[in-house]
Amino acid sequence: MRRALRIAAIALAAAVLPGMAAAKPQRILSMNQCTDLLVLQLVPKERVAAVTYLARDGAKALFPGAADGVAVNYGTPEDIIKFRPDLILTGDFSLAVTRRLAKEVGAPIVEVKSTRTFDDVRRNLRQVGAAVGEPARAEVLIRQMDARLARLAARPPARPVRVVAWDGGATVPGTDTFANRIITAAGAVNIAARPGPIYTSFDVERLLEARPDALLFGGDGRPLLQSEEGRHRVVRRVFAGRRIAYPETAFNCGLPQSAKAAVDLRRQLDALPSRDGGGR
């Protein structure tokens, strides 16, 4: 009798386990750059139907090769018909037509909220990890991120470094933006940031008057023409050796690599030359 029960249990497990494995989505469509960069770290490429056309540039800057060979979409409702996904990842809001077409193809939509804090990164990783059937992988990425942040917090700078972060030449992130959270984690103070979650203007005259210790600019680690056009020649002269490029994607999207961006920024801030008189 016991032997018969064991055989029945084995047969039941054999029948159930393949179904459980198949329950993981196999044709994931990401329609937002930030969800692109999360899903590419959570599942193998063969389970990704498509990522947005922006994914390759972001992946190249942060984890080269992750998006190579993956089809691209342009965030349009027509892409749902084209790729016939079994899971759709989008940003904060999805269009009514997107939701309707998703229902027609039988694909659930997961809306991932924008990031303002590292807690938001943890939330989004767990949300996407659960949706794609990889919660354990999400937890691994969270632990790696938290370890980097903990090492930073355990070694605060001798004094906060005063910085201004320019985006597109003349704007700065507010105090409630994720970019400002990264700057703070690195031990710096964005002296141009105003209260709020939005980017505000900050012109050349104010920059020269503020005289920060460093000038930060985006471009995924490389100077871009768009950024350079906002740099007055006087600014380049005054901040020679004090202009630091940061990975724009990691500052705009909440990713595990955002913690590494903070670590890298701290390293660059620590290497700043001393100002005349001995201090920074």
Q: Name, in order, each residue with C-beta under 8 angstroms of 158's C-beta and a sequence gap of 6 or more.
A: none
Same domain, 163 and 136: no
In which residue ranges of the chain is pLDDT below 50? 1, 4-21, 221-226, 229, 277-279
Which one, of 68, 69, 74, lies nearest residue 52 by Cα? 74
Specify if 248 maps to a domain.
Answer: yes
pLDDT in tens, 77-88: 999 999 999 999
Same domain, 198 and 84: no
Structural domain of 51:
23-145
Backbone angles phi, psi at 167, to 5 degrees: -120, 115
Contact 174, 198 (CB under 8 A): yes
β-strand partners of 29: 50, 88
pTM score, two decimals?
0.85
Same domain, 128 and 179: no
| Last residue in a domain, options 118, 145, 172 | 145
Q: What one-character DSSP code corresponds to residue 274? A: P
Q: What is the pLDDT of residue 228?
A: 53
Same domain, 114 and 166: no
Same domain, 136 and 161: no
Specify if 279 maps to a domain.
Answer: no
Same domain, 28 and 141: yes
| Last residue in a domain, options 145, 168, 194 | 145
Q: What is the pLDDT of residue 276?
A: 59
Instruction: Specify the long-range contacts of residues 139-144, CB closer than 8 Å, at least 24 apart.
Output: 141/41, 141/42, 141/256, 142/256, 144/256, 144/259
Number of domains composing the chain? 2
Same domain, 112 and 180: no
Q: What is the pLDDT of residue 205?
A: 84
| Last residue in a domain, options 88, 114, 145 | 145
Specify if 125 maps to a domain.
Answer: yes
pLDDT in tens, 136-184: 999 999 999 999 999 999 999 988 899 999 765 567 899 999 999 999 9
Same domain, 27 and 140: yes
Q: What is the pLDDT of residue 168?
A: 53
- Dist. CA 266–CA 268, nearest whole Å: 5
Specify if 9 maps to a domain.
Answer: no
Contact 245, 173 (CB under 8 A): no
Backbone angles phi, psi at 137, to 5 degrees: -65, -40
Could you tell me the CATH number of the domain that includes residue 95? 3.40.50.1980
Which one, of 48, 7, 10, lies nearest residue 26 by Cα? 48
Backbone angles phi, psi at 75, to 5 degrees: 70, 25
Q: Name, in order, each residue with C-beta under 8 angstroms of 21's C-beta and a sequence gap of 6 or more.
A: none
Specify if 107 maps to a domain.
Answer: yes
C-alpha distance across the termini of the chain, in Å: 81
Question: What is the Cα 154 distance to its own chain's centre?
Answer: 24
